[in-house]
Copies of this chain bind each other. A is one copy, B any other.
Amino acid sequence: MLQNIRVVLVNTSHPGNIGGAARAMKNMGLSRLVLVQPLDFPAADASARASGADDVLDGAQVVGSLEEALVGCSLAIGTSARDRSLPWPMLDPRECGAKAVERAATGEEIALVFGREHAGLTNDELQRCHFHVHIPSNPDFSSLNLAAAVQVLAYEVRMAWLTEQGAPAKVEKADAGELATLDEMERFYDHLEKTLVDIAFLDPEKPKHLMARLRRLYGRSAVDRSEMSILRGILTETQKVARGEPHKRKD
């Protein structure tokens, strides 16, 4: 089940941190590492700090964008170092571990997303995540080393997983259908945005935070596939009406 949880590192500068992250992952039983445009990888420093977690490094997937890193995922949790102007559902690391394990247990693919050493994740990247997680830290010295941050979240994943293992087998599920994946959600947001422009609700010149707020709303709901097809159907019909195309309306 832990194999359903991937660690995504975005634009890492120092290969030593990639190695340290790989070691922390393997220590905690995680194995899937995805690197978005790392500055320097593979590198000797990465292998040195991995200290035996070479299999994690060797299996690391290197991709060109966060979007690509999240393909197949239905839950992404992004690390956020500080207060953002954008309000977003926040988790502490313990809640993050519990949520990742709970959702991975149903067969979903989960991503824990870590930003650049100094700059973290951009607002655009954070908006692709359903939840943000903040590791509580000294306000006067708040920036954790990247591998240390991976260590803390991976540790909380393991703690939650151990609890889950010890817990009586829950008969749940069946309730929600299969969830829409992140890339399906992205296509939906894209369709939604175009439709809102078509009906002139969204001014592309002054988008304000409209799409961010809608992402936050739908991101919270864990939309399943049949709901997604309803939402997409509504948008398609709305666009036909807005464009004056023939549509199903009878009158």
Contact = CB atoms under 8 A, between A and B. Distances in A.
A171 B134 contact: yes
Among A93, A159, A238, max chain B CB count under 10 A is at A238
Given A134-B171, A145-B51, A200-B250, A155 B93 contact: yes
Nearest to A56: B141
Contacts of A145: 20, 23-24, 49, 51, 147, 151
Interface residues of A, number: 77
Contacts of A93: 155
A63 interface: no
A225 interface: no
A141 B83 contact: no
A71 interface: no
A247 B141 CA distance: 52
Nearest to A224: B217
A21 to B, nearest CB: 10
A175 B86 CA distance: 9
Interface string A20-63: 10011011110000000000000000000101110000000000
Contacts of A213: 226-227, 230
Interface of A: 20, 23-24, 26-29, 49, 51-53, 83, 87-95, 134-138, 141-145, 147-148, 151-152, 155, 158-159, 162, 168-176, 196, 198-201, 210, 213-214, 216-218, 220-223, 226-227, 230, 233-234, 237-238, 240-242, 247-250
Given A20-B145, A213-B227, A242-B249, 5 more contacts: A27-B144, A94-B159, A196-B234, A199-B238, A220-B222
